[in-house]
A and B are shown apart, each in its own frame.
Chain A
Amino acid sequence: GQNIDQPTEMTATEGAIVQINCTYQTSGFNGLFWYQQHAGEAPTFLSYNVLDGLEEKGRFSSFLSRSKGYSYLLLKELQMKDSASYLCAVRDPYNAGNNRKLIWGLGTSLAVNP
């Protein structure tokens, strides 16, 4: 089957670094997305990985290992405004049931404390 696993909740301190993990089992793989969703708002795009390695974008970085079915989102210099849910989504081109959809994780709720 197809599955994406993320921790349900995480807590971190302002100014610290936090790593949010995502593991996936899919029929195929053609890219992994990270989205941020603040409470009561829409998801917004953070990063995209299709090749192994690290993609850096300011305070946020995302890593992918296709052989391990694993990705993480790294948030540095945490700020209070980073308190949000972080969604991992995988594009599977061999998903015969609905071949034009993303497979979404349930999200990791991150609380940043002062």
Chain B
Amino acid sequence: NAGVTQTPKFQVLKTGQSMTLQCAQDMNHEYMSWYRQDPGMGLRLIHYSVGAGITDQGEVPNGYNVSRSTTEDFPLRLLSAAPSQTSVYFCASSPSWEDTQYFGPGTRLTVL
């Protein structure tokens, strides 16, 4: 099992550009989530999904979109990048929301 994979590992964007951060898991987990981690702020939930076709907002959803067309994939879309979105983004999955979450390696995003 590859576990949770994320691409790209590093990305630099200009303000106003859009891009998609990819996340995939091969553990057949129903629950998937996206976090951002910033110094002094800890892990903050952006969006989550409890199964294919079902997504919901976390605590900091503005500027981000998600979709969950399959159990395996949960991409995060930045609509119009802003410098405030410079962060490390982690995708995580678990069998259900109550279970231990397994994190991907992260994407380090810089918006200029």
Contact = CB atoms under 8 A, between A and B. Distances in A.
Contacts of A101: 33, 45, 48, 58-59, 97
B103 A43 contact: yes
B103 A105 contact: no
A91 B98 contact: yes
Contacts of B31: 100
B106 A98 contact: no
Chain B interface mostly helix, strand, loop or mixed? strand
A102 interface: yes
Nearest to B97: A100
Nearest to B59: A98
Query: How many interface residues does chain B have, given as a range?
Result: 20 to 34
A45 B100 contact: yes
Given A30-B98, A91-B98, A100 B48 contact: yes
Nearest to A6: B42
Interface in A72-107: 87, 89, 91, 97-98, 100-102, 104-107
A85 to B, nearest CB: 10
A113 interface: no
Contact of A42 (B40, B58, B103): B103
Given A42-B106, A43-B90, A102 B42 contact: no
A113 B36 CA distance: 30
Given A106-B40, A106-B42, A107-B42, A100 B104 contact: no
Interface in B36-59: 40-45, 48, 50, 56-59
Given A100-B31, A100-B56, A44 B103 contact: yes
Contacts of B48: 100-101
A26 B78 CA distance: 32
Nearest to A102: B101
B64 interface: no
The 7 closest A-B pairs by CB, nearest first: A42-B103, A100-B97, A106-B42, A104-B43, A101-B45, A104-B42, A45-B100
